[in-house]
Amino acid sequence: MDTGDTAWMLTSSALVLFMTPGLALFYGGMVRAKNALGMLLKNYVAMGVVTITWVVIGYTLAFGPDAGGGWIGKLDFWGLKDVSNVIPDGETAGAIHAVPVPDSVIMVFQMMFAIITPALITGAFAERIKFSSMLVFMALWSLCVYVPMAHWVWSPDGWLATLGVLDFAGGTVVHINAGVAGLVCALFLGKRKTIAPPHSLTMSMIGASLLWFGWFGFNAGSNLEANGYAVLAFANTLFATAVAAITWFFAEWIFKGKPSLLGIISGAIAGLVGITPACGFVGIQGALVIGLACGLVCFLAVAYLKKALGYDDALDAFGVHAVGGIIGALLTGVYVNPELGGVGVYENWFTMKVGYDMGFQVMAQAKAVLTAIVVSGGVAAITMTLLKFTIGIRVSEEAESEGLDVAEHGEKAYN
């Protein structure tokens, strides 16, 4: 066992877990004051619910030995059975990855991704969904969408992985998945009765900063080893995020007439989303283009597309995470090209393929994007339909007017 790599993975796991409370603050500051506590709770509860489902069945379905056809893992690791904290003598790999760390550290690291992904969706249906419905949706969607997608993309035998799809840290598995599900939920719930400005941009700025900080574990940690590729992912995460933040900032200044704090922190999140699938595959040139594209296109999606189409994606889960994730996933296929500063395409992480075929790689990325849109959107629609006709999905008009903090939780964020 490489103790340095193991220490880096444990540190990265803690950083990624820290992102979920950061997300809670980011989202919590953008809602009305009387819904702030409920928004914080919706994100924090994911750390409990998803941890339990991941330990019991999620990990084995996502990263257990393939059951056949690249669709799902076997139940070999049910309840973490045979997930070792050490590497047996004579072996060099932890879990299913050819890296010298224990199975358990892979399990813990991947758990943090499973936690934050459904939490991202909460931004789309803020201020109007029933808390009980949200809990059921979170658990079902996590198991029926996130877990299979993680197997398809990140398991060596996953069917998207065998097609050559590249997703270094979760552009498809995390962000497109969550953003599309968020849009579907927002459409099912309808518009809020009252749409108000953020109640605390100070809180949102703190949350965005915690997200950027934790994202270094998210991206650089996804290399699974503390080496040059981790440094590349770290540097790209810093650069692309800065570019996207400034791009959104100036785009808003030009189109809206004033620069804003909400704009620059939203641009930073868009850049983090966009560079996620590409961070360990592209060079600084790719990071620059991805940052520019995400900063501008996500701004346009949030400022104009949402109004044009009339959907109420309350905190822009779709406009930032789905749109930014799609941009990053597709541009990964372009800028992995060594001639454009990328690292090239490897088979099983170690053997570089001879030559580079941009058409093939971009098409593979597009297949993954389309798969995430169809599967996540479809399962979200089915789940919301079932919830609508059973326990209901939207709070009453009285509860929405009073605020969900008091109506659903009997508490207030501020006294």
Instruction: State mean pLDDT over 220-240.
Output: 96
pLDDT score of 378 more than 70:
yes
Residue 82 burial by CB count (10 A; 0-12/13-18/19+): exposed, middle or buried? exposed
pLDDT score of 90 more than 60:
no
Judge contact between 330 and 276, C-beta under 8 A.
no
pLDDT for residue 86 = 66
pLDDT score of 177 more than 80:
yes
Which CA distances in Å does 274 have to 141, 184, 268, 312, 380?
23, 21, 10, 22, 23
Residue 352: its H or E element: strand 351-352
Mean of pLDDT over the chain: 94
pLDDT tens-digit series, residues 151-166 = 999 998 899 999 999 9
* Domain layout of the chain by residue ranges: 3-409
At residue 37's C-alpha, the angle toward residues 122 and 58, to 5°, is 40
Give the single-character DSSP code of 89.
T
pLDDT score of 242 more than 50:
yes
Q: Which of 273, 218, 230, 232 is nearest to 12 (CA)?
A: 218
Q: What's CA 82's distance to the chain center, in Å?
A: 28
Q: Kindly indicate the confidence band of residue 92, based on its pLDDT and cuts at 50, 70 and 90.
A: very low
Sign of CA dihedral 337, 339, 342, 344: positive
- Largest pairwise CA distance in the chain: 65
Residues contacting 357, CB < 8 A, separation 6+: none
Beta bridge partner(s), residue 66? 73
pLDDT for residue 353 = 65
**Neighbouring C-beta atoms of residue 341, cutoff 10 Å:** 15
Q: Alpha-carbon distance 157 to 63, whole Å?
A: 10
pLDDT score of 88 more than 90:
no
pLDDT tens-digit series, residues 35-70 = 999 999 999 999 999 999 999 999 999 999 999 999
pLDDT for residue 93 = 47
Beta bridge partner(s), residue 94? 97
Q: Which of 49, 322, 281, 7 is nearest to 168 (CA)?
A: 281
Q: Kindly indicate the confidence band of residue 310, based on its pLDDT and cuts at 50, 70 and 90.
A: very high
Q: Alpha-carbon distance 239 to 86, whole Å?
A: 36
Instruction: State mean pLDDT over 287-314.
Output: 97
pLDDT for residue 356 = 80
Judge contact between 21 and 44, C-beta under 8 A.
yes
Please give the CATH topology (third level) of the domain spanning 3-409: Ammonium transporter fold (1.10.3430)
Rg, Å, the chain Cα set: 20
Q: Kindly indicate the confidence band of residue 408, based on its pLDDT and cuts at 50, 70 and 90.
A: very high
Q: Alpha-carbon distance 398 to 402, whole Å?
A: 6
pTM as predicted: 0.95
In one-letter notation, the amino acid at residue 38 is G
SS3 9: helix
Instruction: State mean pLDDT over 112-119.
Output: 98
Q: Alpha-carbon distance 163 to 382, whole Å?
A: 28
pLDDT score of 145 more than 90:
yes
Give the single-character DSSP code of 221.
G
pLDDT for residue 89 = 53
Q: Kindly indicate the confidence band of residue 345, based on its pLDDT and cuts at 50, 70 and 90.
A: confident
Q: What percent of the chain has pLDDT over 90?
A: 88
pLDDT score of 91 more than 60:
no
Q: Alpha-carbon distance 63 to 96, whole Å?
A: 7
SS3 394: strand
Q: At 165, phi and psi to the nearest 5?
A: -65, 135
Please give the residue that has the higher pLDDT: either 88 or 215: 215
Judge contact between 151 and 375, C-beta under 8 A.
no
Judge contact between 277 and 229, C-beta under 8 A.
no
pLDDT score of 412 more than 50:
yes
Which CA distances in Å does 404 have to 375, 397, 408?
31, 11, 5
Residues contacting 344, CB < 8 A, separation 6+: 336, 337, 338, 352, 353, 356
pLDDT for residue 103 = 87
pLDDT score of 270 more than 70:
yes
pLDDT score of 382 more than 90:
yes
pLDDT tens-digit series, residues 185-200 = 999 999 999 999 999 9
